[in-house]
Structure 1
Amino acid sequence: MSKGMHIKGELRVRYGQATSAGVKPQNEDCLGIQIPDGDLLATKGLVVVVADGVSAAEAGKEASEFCVKSFINDYFSTPETWEVKTAAHRVLVSLNRWLFSKGQSLADERRGYVAAMSALILKARSAHIFHVGDTRIYRFRDGALEPLTQDHHTWVSSETCYLSRAMGMGINLDIDYRKTGIEPGDVLFFSTDGVHEHVKNSDISALLADPDVEPDAACQQLIDLALANGSRDNLSCQILRVESLPDANSNDIYDALSRLPFPPALKVGMSLDGYQVEAVLHESSRSQLYQVRDKETGERMAMKTPSVNFSDDAAYIERFIMEEWIGRRIANPHIVRTVEQARPPQCLYYLMENVEGKTLKQWMTENPSPEIGIVVDIVQQIVDGLRALHRRETLHQDLKPDNIMIQPDGVVKIIDLGSAYIAGIDETSVPFEREQNLGTMKYSAPEYKLGRRPSTRSDQFALAMIAYELFTGGQGSPYGEKFAAAHTLRDFSALGYQAAARTNPLVPGWVDGALKKALSLNSELRYEVLSEFVVDLKQPNPQFLESGNMPLIQRDPLRFWKGLSAVLGAMVVVLLFLLMK
């Protein structure tokens, strides 16, 4: 069945499929391809899948169909912010567990919902391959046919083998993953064993080498040849001819928005697209933030506009657009909400909810000695917002008191995503060098300066820096003044953690222990997950209480001062008694 030619933006492919039950009464193979519309093609890519239901299984046909249809549907339902590998792997693990659980309900659980499966996701100029079983994917390039997958067989003799891995075969899934570059002119060939075990590679190459043969016709010829050569199995194959790929000198996702002009600097009373400026909230060399009111509805919002200093900077424009893009995809009470524009924009800007209150920096100035419980509550809310980002494979990268708001009702919100790293977007091709971390170095983890790959633990470091400031009233620094000047591994190795209790004696030793761990210069020594950090701030971790040399004032300042007060009170009573005598 021919799918002919498909053109989406700069991606141009021709593809076709053919499948046959062969000599069997039922076809347990399944094929699928999905090319999404619009921006989804750039953020998620196109998907091609082939699956072969295991004949010995009781539900091989159902298993193969479930693998193909559910993988395609579920993959495109994952967040656009996720990397291909993350999204596909999570979907496959879920599908495998469902197949395995269904198989357990059958009379013979060893003959359940089992299928071999190979999937390819073509995103930008790379192919991401996921494979389990004995279905195959080949790449034909420059006259050579190259296998991109390896059969999962266990040989028991020179002529007999069994499938060692497949979807639904076990509760745990061991799947092969491979990422490889794709070039215009490449031909990708997908097949089940009913085809590739009965057709020579030279015959496959001969058909793939001829661009005049339509993909569906080539697939049918290969099936006919396999049948003629004695194939006794179901037969299925797909061909994907890559005519062209997204040009490294184009960026279709952002073209429309980047052609919008930058708005001029706005003043109170001025209007833009029906939004009247009521106040200038913030101005910097990179952007402006205004409080605006929709003249039609009266709703108050915040409007962020780009700085005209970067009107010809493609990397800056991409980052500005992505700030709104990720804001639309994160729904969390501790992340500022992006507001959809009521009218088509005439300039480049975006709208957010209007957050009342003060920045955490202002709050810290007004509250230099907050109670431990209040600090922990603030940290907990920031963690809730960060986890919403991290679940979408997004790093904030610029967490600092100026980017956090505390509302009058005590709700904490992260308000700036301008430096966020989005894994799914980072995989897309762009004609420029993307900006690296633009965060504030005072709060940035050492890995940024050392040129190492950041992770969620990098955001943890920044959060711990903020927590340290909260506990010390903004007066202390965990590594002193030399931290800002450190740029090499040797520089960082010379630094030592300075306990928060040195600045604020009321900070318990176990709180200092949690801060020290989250602020480890080596990211591997920090907490694995943010929730562990919060737990250790809320209650003493025995690990941080084992230090026998730690004085009581550090281990439990409240108990120390209560005890000291009791002693002093007793002394006063004794002195009064003596004086009265």
Structure 2
Amino acid sequence: MHNGMLKVSVGQKSDPGPKPENEDSMGIATPSGLTLANKGVVAVIADGVSSADAGKEASAACVKNFIADYLSTPDTWSVKTSAHRVLSALNRWLYGQSLRSISSRFENNDHKGYISTMSVLILKSTTASIFHIGDSRIYRFRSGDLELLTRDHSVAVGQGKAYLARAMGMDLGLDVDYKTEPLQSGDVFLLTTDGVHDFLPRRELSQYLETLQDPDSDEDAESTANRIVADALARGSDDNTTCQVIQVTELPDGDADEYCHKLNTLPFPPFLSEGMIFDGYRILKELHASSRSQVYLVEDTESHQHWVMKTPSVNFVDDPAYIERFVLEEWIGKRVNSPHVVRVIEPERDKKWLYYLTEYVAGASLERWIGQNRSSGVEQIVRIAEQIVQGLRAFHRKDTLHQDIKPANIMVNRDGTVKIIDFGSCKVAGIDEIQVPIERDQVLGTATYSAPEYRLRRSTGVQSDLFSVSVVAYEMLTGYHPYGKAYEECQDIRDFSQLKYAPAWQYNPMVPDWIDGALRKGCSISRESRYDSLSEFIFDLKHPNKSFLKSSKRPLIERNPLVFWKSLTLILLVTQVLTIGFLMQ
């Protein structure tokens, strides 16, 4: 029976060749279980630049540190986010090592350059991700064709000579080639340093890999790697020779029934009512119920602590997409840590049913708070908006979009602390990359607060959550939507283009121009016109942006009463002087 996981066969070989020291490095990580599903198989090859005295140390650091650090990144992060952040940090470290070496060279004459080429192949689910800098190479062999997937970062200078234009540690800024390729069962990937591919023609490399794919051959990935290195040396390679071979033997299982069976490890809870004891918890009262779930206030019968219990709706007991989404909610909540995000509780006892627990926030939803605090000051509302943003940033640090920021999903406790609740619409980049044999349940946010790109089916990002925060802040200040009721009816770009933003000060004269300007930019119809980051939005809410003051169309008497009355007084004075002068003629 298939285990639903990616399976590979791997082999690698490195030889110093005629050189006294091997400056090449290589490494392959083939994790299992959840790490395999969330992070994938990782292969790294690096070639220390011989003209740099610390090339060997640099290549070893590239391989060892990348694999360890990549596998340690949050499993919510996408492959791209994880790899780029690790590569950037690694590059800065190598560059820093070189600078420290330069600063001490006059003392001990021990200047070293930490520079290396580096090529990374990550196989996750059904996708190959490639990160490349330098002149090591990654090939793919499929259906008898050997395709080079990377481009050498070298510049020819004549007479068969070339110099490396890009490498790890060469510069503080890092320009890495990145691409993704779909996987097929049987694909073979070959990673080589120049000591191999400069001496073996592509035709011969293809023959090695074709033999590997032959079911009648005794060759495996390890023996193929050994043959390639040995033949490169036999062909006169005068450099270190290194190669890695990774063959995809099985892709993740595509059986929907088996996938559904794995999701249904716990049964749906029965109907719950006040006073019942369920799995060690006393049901105190129902807090919320919808067609998709129920939420209860419960008391642990042992510790007497109060928690909130969320249970799935029996309407979806046979819906694997819904079950996956429900299980994902708890998974997300356990990984997002912020005082402004409701905390998911790890039960002290094993669960017998499908549900999850969160902390109980003693307070009211922001929806109710708005209704009860119509006369709240601008500063208080800005403080609430800032707390919402702080909570959202905890999601974004995990490469996760909340996608359903609205007053009903925000709690305000008795001391004024704000907490974001409900993870049912979250989009996790790292999970989205994992292919499953079902059509995933895409539960999007409420139309009133969701950014236009959701309905327009365009790319989303941090600015999409920013739009929702801006609309919520606008509603707290005015009681209205910035684009009115027509916003909910919009379906295409033409509908959205006809909307007009209503300045917040038209509903609430106490809203300053610069705050209105920040709200206008934060909830712009075009994602590209919004702030690049949530922190910029909050900064402009708290500090007057002069550009918003200059562009305001607000009447001067409302925008700056003092200037208005001073100007009017001056005009009246001048008029009186002119009148007196005219009468005296």
TM-score, normalising length: structure 1:
0.91
Structure 2 vs 1, CA of residues 173 and 250 (structure 1 numbering), >3 Å: closer, same or farther? farther
Structure 1 residue ranges without an equivalent (≥5)? 1-6, 564-581
Indicate the residue corresponding to 1:527 in structure 2: 531
| 1:64 equivalent in alignment to 2:59 | yes
Change (3 A) 1:437 1:284: closer
Please say if residues 467 and 522 of structure 2, whose CA atoms lie closer than 8 Å, have aligned partners that are also in contact: yes
SS state at 1:137 partner? strand
**Which of 503, 508, 511 is 1:507 aligned to?**
511
User: Structure 1 residues 298, 46: CA separation in 2 closer, same or farther (over 3 Å shift)?
Assistant: same
After TM superposition, the structure 1 = structure 2 runs for residues 113-192 of structure 1, keeping only pairs within 5 Å, are 113-192=114-193
Equivalent residues of 1:291, 1:303 under 8 A apart: yes
For 1:207, the equivalent position in structure 2 comes to: 208
Q: CA deviation at 1:252?
A: 8.2
Note if 1:30 corresponds to 2:22: no
Q: Once superposed, which parts of structure 1, at least 4 consecutive aligned residues long, lie more than 4 Å away?
A: 107-111, 250-255, 559-563
**Bigger mean CA offset, 404-413 vs 244-253:** 244-253
Aligned counterparts of 2:542 and 2:223: Cα–Cα separation in 1: 67
Q: Select the residue among 208, 224, 228 that pairs with 1:222.
A: 228
Separation of aligned partners in 2, 1:129 and 1:251: 32
Q: Are residue 333 (structure 1) and residue 334 (structure 2) matched? A: no
In the alignment of these two chains, the number of paired residues is 554
Choose from 336, 342, 349 the match for 1:343.
Answer: 349
Q: Distance in 2 between matches of 1:72 and 1:510?
A: 47
Residue in 2 that maps onto 1:432: 438
Work out the CA distance in 2 between the residues paired with 1:520 and 1:540.
Answer: 19
Q: CA deviation at 1:437?
A: 4.4
- Which one-letter code corresponds to 1:162 in the other structure? Y
Q: 2:254 aligns with which of 241, 248, 259?
A: 248
Contact in 1 for aligned 2:5/2:37 (Cα 8 Å): no
Kept after mapping to 1: 8 A contact 2:4/2:253: no
Amino acid at match of 2:84: H
Instruction: Name the CA shift for 1:353/1:561 in 2 (closer, same or farther; >3 Å).
Output: farther
- 2:451 aligns with one of 439, 445, 454: 445
Q: C-alpha offsets along residues 538-564 of structure 1, whole Å, 9 cap, x if unaligned?
A: 23221121147522454258x79999x
Q: Residue 76 of structure 1 corresponds to which residue in structure 2?
A: 71
- What secondary structure is seen at the aligned counterpart in 2 of 1:424? helix
| Equivalent position of 1:411 in the other structure | 417
Partner of 1:572: none
Of 10, 14, 22, the match for 1:19: 14
State the AA in 2 paired with 1:174.
D
Residue 82 of structure 2: aligned partner: 87
Q: Is the 8 A contact 1:507 1:554 kept in 2?
A: no
Query: 2:324 aligns to what?
Result: 318
Tell me the amino acid that sits aligned with residue 460 of structure 1. Answer: L
1:97 is paired with a residue whose SS is: helix
Instruction: Give the residue type in structure 2 aligned to 1:46.
Output: V
Determine if the alignment matches structure 1 residue 362 to structure 2 residue 368: yes
Q: Provide closer, same or farther for how the CA distance between residues 299 and 99 of structure 1 changes in structure 2, counting only shifts above 3 A.
A: same
Report the counterpart of residue 472 of structure 2 in structure 1: 466
C-alpha separation in 2, matches of 1:217 and 1:539: 65
- Aligned partner of 1:39 in structure 2 is 34
Q: Cα 1:253–1:57, aligned 2, differ >3 Å: closer, same or farther?
A: farther
* Deviation readout 1:225-278 (Å, 9 max, x if unpaired): 111111111111111111111123359888544332111221112222212211
Provide the C-alpha distance between the structure 2 equivalents of 1:524 and 1:252, rounded to a whole number of angstroms.
Answer: 42
The alpha carbon displacement at 1:111 in A equals 5.4
1:550 counterpart = 2:545: no
SS of the residue 1:267 aligns to: coil
Pairing 1:253-268 to 2, within 5 Å after superposition: 256-268=262-274
Aligned partners of 1:26, 1:377: CA distance in 2, in Å?
61
AA aligned opposite 1:219: A
**In the alignment, which residue of structure 2 is the partner of 1:231?**
237
Shift of 1:483: 1.2
Structure 1 pair 548–513 and aligned structure 2 pair: CA distance change class (3 A): closer
- How far residue 364 of structure 1 moved from its aligned partner, in angstroms, is 0.9
**TM-score normalised per structure 2:** 0.91
Find the aligned partners of 1:549 and 1:82 in 2 and give their Cα distance: 43
**Residue of structure 2 equivalent to 1:575:** none
CA distance in 1, matches of 2:51, 2:496: 60
User: Cα deviation per residue 1:200-244 (whole Å; 9 max; x = unaligned)?
Assistant: 223222221123302211111111111111111111111111111
Aligned residue type for 1:445: A
Question: What letter is aligned with 1:200?
Answer: P
Residues 159, 111 of structure 1: alpha-carbon distance in 2 compared, 3 angstrom cutoff: farther
- State the one-letter code of the partner of 1:280: E
Secondary structure, aligned partner of 2:60: helix
User: What whole-Å deviation, never above 9, does each CA across 1:155-212 have from its counterpart, x for those lacking one?
Assistant: 0014111111111111111111110111111111111111121122232222211233
Contact 2:259 2:437 in 1 (8 A): no
Secondary structure of residue in 2 paired with 1:171: coil
**Residue 102, structure 1, aligned to residue 97, structure 2:** yes
CA 217–477 in structure 1, closer or farther in 2 if over 3 Å, else same = closer
Measured against aligned partners, the alpha-carbon deviations of 1:132-171 in whole angstroms (never above 9, x if no partner) come to: 1111111111111111112111100141111111111111
Identity of aligned residues (%): 51
Instruction: Give 2:179's aligned amino acid.
Output: R
Match of 1:380 among 374, 386, 406: 386
User: What's the counterpart of residue 278 of structure 1?
Assistant: 284
Whole-angstrom CA distance in 1 between matches of 2:330 and 2:260: 12
- Write the distance in 1 (CA, Å) between the matches of 2:239 and 2:516: 66
- Cα 1:29–1:204 change in 2 (3 A) is same
| Residue of 297, 319, 335 corresponding to 1:291 | 297
CA distance in 2, matches of 1:254, 1:84: 26
Q: Tell me the SS of whatever aligns to 1:453.
A: coil
SS in structure 2 at match of 1:39: helix
Q: Give the aligned partner of residue 488 of structure 2.
A: 484
Mean Cα displacement is larger for which, 216-225 or 195-204?
A: 195-204
Q: Please give the alpha-carbon distance, in whole angstroms, between the structure 1 residues aligned to 2:19 and 2:116.
A: 17
* SS at structure 1 position matched to 2:155: strand
Partners of 2:296 and 2:558 lie apart in 1 by: 45
Deviation at 1:520, TM superposition (A): 1.1
Tell whether the 8 Å contact from 2:518 to 2:541 is kept in structure 1 after alignment: yes
Answer yes or no: is the 8 Å Cα contact 1:267–1:277 preserved in 2.
yes
Q: Secondary structure at the match of 1:205?
A: helix
**What CA distance in whole angstroms lies between the structure 2 residues aligned with 1:561 and 1:401?**
38
- Closer, same or farther in 2 for the Cα pair 1:534/1:372, shift >3 Å? same
Deviates more, 1:209-218 or 1:286-295: 209-218
Cα deviation, residue 375, structure 1: 0.2
Structure 2 spans left out of the alignment, 5+ residues: 213-217, 567-585
Q: 1:414 to 1:249 in 2, by over 3 A?
A: same
396-405 vs 266-275, which deviates more?
A: 266-275
1:295-336 per-residue CA deviation (whole Å, 9 max, x = no partner) reads 222221111111111112222111111111111111100001
Alignment partner, residue 577 of structure 1: none
